[in-house]
C-alpha cells in the first residue's frame, strides 16, 4: 500500500482513529506501571491464581516468597527476563489486575472489564515482600538498561517502605548511570 495514495492516506487516518478508540477503552490500564499491567496476563498461571484466591495470609505469602526465591536464583544465573517474570508474579499475588471478560485476549483490554486489586498491602509482611519484589524488578530493569522502569519500580517500593535501602540505591543508580545523566539527575540521586 502506497501511503502517498488517496487510499493509503485514508487507511492511515482509519488506523489513527482506531488507535484513539482503543486508548479510550483502556486509559486506566495504560496508566498503570508495566509491572502491574503484566499481572493481568498472570491469570493463566495456576499458582498465582491459587494465591490470589487464598484468604490465609501466611499461605499466600509462602507462594509469593517461592516466586521471589525463584527470581533470585534466575537473577544470579543472569536470566534477567525470567527473573523479572518471577518477581512480577510475586507482586501479582497481592497487587494485580483481574478481568471479568473470559475472552479478553481476543476482545482486547478494556477498563470496564477490569478490577484493580491491592490486597493486604497494609499488612507489614506483605508490604515488605512487595517492596522487595519491586526493588528486585528495579534491579532487573538496571541490568536491561531500562532506567525509567527502574525509577518507577523504586518509587512504588519506597511508597510501601520509605526506608528500603535497595530501592533508594537502585533509583540513584538509574539516575546516574545513563550516559545522558546530567547535573539535575545527579542532584536527585544525591537527595535520595
30-41 per-residue burial string, b: 16 or more CB within 10 A, e: under 16:
eebeebbbbbbe
Handedness of CA 155, 161, 162, 164 (dihedral sign): negative
- Kind and range of the H or E element at 39? none
Q: 59: which residues sit within 8 A by CB, 6+ positions away?
A: 51
Q: Model pTM?
A: 0.82
pLDDT at 165: 95
* pLDDT less than 50: residues of the chain: none
pLDDT at 44: 79
Q: What is the 3-class SS of 116-185, one letter each residue?
A: EEECCCCCHHHHHHHHHHHHHHHHHHHHCCCHHHHHHHHHHHHHHCCCCHHHHHHHHHHHHCCCCCCHHH
CA–CA distance, 92 with 133 (Å, rounded to integer): 10
Amino acid at each position: 500500500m502506497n501511503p502517498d495514495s488517496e487510499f493509503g492516506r485514508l487507511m492511515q487516518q482509519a488506523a489513527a482513529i482506531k488507535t484513539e478508540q482503543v486508548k479510550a477503552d483502556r486509559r486506566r490500564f495504560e496508566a498503570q506501571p508495566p509491572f502491574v499491567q503484566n499481572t493481568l496476563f498472570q491469570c493463566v498461571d495456576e499458582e498465582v491464581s491459587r494465591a490470589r484466591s487464598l484468604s490465609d495470609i501466611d499461605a499466600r505469602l509462602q507462594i509469593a516468597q517461592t516466586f521471589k526465591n525463584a527470581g533470585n536464583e534466575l537473577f544470579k544465573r543472569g536470566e534477567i527476563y525470567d527473573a523479572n517474570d518471577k518477581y512480577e508474579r510475586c507482586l501479582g499475588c497481592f497487587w494485580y489486575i483481574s478481568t471479568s471478560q473470559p475472552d479478553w485476549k481476543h476482545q482486547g483490554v478494556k477498563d470496564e472489564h477490569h478490577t484493580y486489586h491491592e490486597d493486604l498491602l497494609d499488612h507489614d509482611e506483605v508490604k515488605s515482600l512487595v517492596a522487595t519484589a519491586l526493588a528486585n524488578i528495579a534491579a532487573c530493569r538496571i541490568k536491561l538498561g531500562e532506567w525509567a522502569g527502574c525509577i518507577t519500580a523504586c518509587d512504588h517500593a519506597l511508597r510501601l517502605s520509605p526506608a528500603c535501602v535497595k530501592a533508594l540505591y537502585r533509583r540513584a543508580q538509574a539516575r546516574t548511570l545513563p550516559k545522558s545523566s546530567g547535573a539535575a539527575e545527579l542532584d536527585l540521586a544525591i537527595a535520595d
